[in-house]
Amino acid sequence: MDKRPIGIFDSGVGGITVLKEIKNKMPNENIIYIGDTQNFPYGNKSKEEIIKFSIENVNKLLKKDVKIIVIACGTATSQALGVLKEKFDIPIIGIIEPTVKYIKSKNYQKVGVIATEGTIKNGAWERKLKEKIPNIQVINKACPMLATIAEEGKAKSKEGKKVIKEYMKPFKSEKIDKIILGCTHFPIYEQIIRDELGYEVELINTGNTISNELQTYLIENSIENNDKNATINIYLTKKEEQFENIAQNILK
C-alpha cells in the first residue's frame, strides 16, 4: 500500500476528463492535478517548449511527493514522454500507448484520430499504431481550435458546433466508426460529435484506457491506496475564471 498521491498534468482543463476516469476506477487514491494554464494552449507550441513545460510540471509534482505521473495530455505525451522517461526515475505514463494497446486488443483495422495540431504534425499516434498493428489504416485530423474553445467554456456554443461540423467531414464522408479522442479536451465534445456524425460511433476516450493501465501498474507494484478519505487537489499555474465550472461539469 502507498498513500502518496497520483500526479496528473495537462495544459488546462482537458486532463480533468482523465482525472474523472481515474477517480471512478480508483476512488481511494489521492490525486494532485496540475493545469498549466499559464502556458495553455500546448497544441500550437514547439516541441522544445512542450518539453520545457512538461519538465516543470513533473518537478512541481515531485515536490508534492507523488508516486507516479500521468500525462493527461496528448500533445505532451507525443512530444515529451520519451525525454521525461529518460530524465526522471519516477514511473510516467502517457495517453498514447495504453490506447494503442486497447485498439490492438480489439483488432481494429481502421481508426480516425483527432488531436491538436502539434500532436498530428508529430505523427505519434499513427507511428505507435502502425508499430503494433502494421496494416492499420489511420485517418488523422488536426483540430486546432477545439482545446481553446473548450478551455473558454464554449464547447457547447454555436462556435463549438460549427468547428466540429468542419472537423468531422473526413470521418463523416467515409463513415469512420472508431475515432480516438487524441486530445484530452475532446471528450467535452462527445455528444456534439455524436450528433454531428449521426451514426453509431465509438469515441475512444484516452482517460479510460490510461486508467486501466494505471490500475494494473499500481496493483502489480503493490502501490495502490485504500484511503476512504482520499482527496483531489487541483493547482493551476495561472488563475482561470472558467476552470472550476468546466471541471465541475466534467466531474458532475
68 to 107, contacts with ligand DGL by CB under 6 A?
A: 73-75
DSSP, res 228: T
Helix (H, G, I), strand (E, B) or coil at 154: coil
Q: Is 33 among the residues that bind ligand DGL (CB under 6 A)?
A: no
Among 41, 94, 98, 207, binds ligand DGL (CB under 6 A): 41
173 to 192, contacts with ligand DGL by CB under 6 A?
A: 183-185
**Residue 143 annotated to the active site:** no
Using CB positions, name the residue nearest to ligand DGL. Answer: 43
All three cell numbers of 198, joined, read 449521426
How many Å apart are CA 221 and CA 55, to the nearest integer? Answer: 25
DSSP, res 4: S
**Residue 183 annotated to the active site:** yes
Q: Is 40 among the residues that bind ligand DGL (CB under 6 A)?
A: yes
Among 5, 9, 11, 57, binds ligand DGL (CB under 6 A): 11
188 to 247, contacts with ligand DGL by CB under 6 A?
A: none
Tell me the number of residues near ligand DGL by CB under 6 A.
17
Catalytic, out of 19, 183, 204, 232: 183
Using the Cα atoms of residue 22, residue 195, residue 197 and residue 169 in order, give the sign of their dihedral: negative
Backbone angles phi, psi at 110, to 5 degrees: -145, 120
DSSP, res 112: E
Question: Considering the complex, what minimum distance in angstroms separates the CB of residue 219 from ligand DGL?
Answer: 26
Helix (H, G, I), strand (E, B) or coil at 188: helix
- Name the helix (H) or strand (E) containing 117: helix 117-122
Binding site for ligand DGL (CB under 6 A): 10-12, 14, 40-43, 73-75, 116, 119, 147, 183-185
